[in-house]
């Protein structure tokens, strides 16, 4: 079994725009860097094959320093970038694909292991919902094209529906490190207050 982790990212300058009411541009970029470095560190510890798909070539030094590989996204949009990275993974013989967002401050290696270990078979999918229970913060697919990629608003329900339509068994993984992402000023305040417990 070969596992690859894909981390999509818009680039530091474009990240965390929803935090603009409480952080200036430099602060948002610094936070985005810190979050991405954390996710890549954990991903690399969990799996030696980590790819960042991004339209921002400027991320190359950060990505390389984390032991990951940068792939420049050719098309527009999150799902299109992920599809590009998925096609490459399939062409290179990857059998299990894990997708993690780059803004999970409390992610640990056991979270990544749970996504892979709890895949219910081949084919099979595990999904990690966000705290609100509507988004998808982590997804593991075996084979990599087991279901479609439906990231965006309401992605949890869309991924579940896709799995049901395809007849692919799906397991939800509920872990704090996968559920908590950094999107809004309220998320930032919660993380500052609670840290790893957020």
* Mean pLDDT, all residues of the chain: 95
How many residues appear in the chain?
198
Pairing of β 3-8 and β 50-54: parallel
- Record the pTM: 0.96
**pLDDT reported for residue 84:** 98
Phi and psi dihedrals of 67, rounded to 5? 80, 15
Instruction: Report how far residue 128's alpha carbon sits from residue 180's, in angstroms, rounded to the nearest whole number.
Output: 10
Of 22, 8, 2, 4, the closest CA to residue 183 belongs to 22
Mean pLDDT of 55-61: 96
Mean pLDDT of 106-135: 97
Q: Cα dihedral angle (9, 110, 192, 182), rounded to 10 degrees?
A: 30
Mean pLDDT of 164-180: 97
* Domains, the chain, with CATH or none: 3-197 (3.90.550.10)
- Which residues neighbour 132 within 8 Å (Cβ) at sequence distance 6 or greater? none
Give the H or E element holding residue 121.
none
**String of b and e for 31-66 (b: at least 16 CB within 10 Å)?**
bbeebbebbbbbbbebbebbbbbbbbeebeebbeeb
Signed CA dihedral, 132, 175, 137, 41: sign only: positive
The verdict on whether omega for the bond into residue 155 sits within 30 degrees of 0, i.e. cis, is: no
Asked if residues 25 and 54 have their Cβ atoms less than 8 Å apart, the reply is no
How far from chain centre, in Å, is Cα 121? 21
**pLDDT reported for residue 59:** 97
Work out the pLDDT band at 95, boundaries 50, 70, 90.
Answer: very high
Name 100's bridge partners: 138
């Amino acid at each position: 079994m070969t596992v690859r982790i894909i981390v999509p990212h818009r680039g530091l300058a474009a990240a965390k725009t929803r935090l603009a009411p409480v952080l200036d541009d430099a602060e948002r970029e610094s936070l985005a860097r810190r979050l991405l470095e954390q996710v890549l560190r954990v991903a690399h510890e969990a799996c030696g094959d980590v790819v960042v798909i991004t339209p921002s070539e400027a991320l190359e030094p950060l990505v390389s320093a984390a032991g990951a590989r940068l792939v420049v996204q050719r098309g527009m949009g999150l799902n299109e970038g992920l599809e590009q990275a998925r096609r490459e993974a399939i062409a290179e013989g990857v059998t299990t694909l894990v997708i993690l967002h780059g803004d999970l401050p409390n992610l640990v290696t056991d979270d990544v292991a749970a996504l892979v270990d709890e895949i219910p078979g081949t084919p099979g999918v595990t999904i990690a919902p966000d705290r609100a229970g509507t988004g998808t913060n982590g997804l593991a697919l075996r084979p990599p094209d087991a279901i479609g990629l439906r990231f965006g608003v309401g992605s949890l329900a869309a991924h579940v529906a896709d799995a049901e339509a395809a007849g692919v068994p799906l397991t939800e993984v509920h872990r704090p490190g996968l559920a908590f992402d950094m999107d809004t000023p309220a998320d930032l305040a919660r993380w500052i207050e609670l840290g790893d417990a957020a």
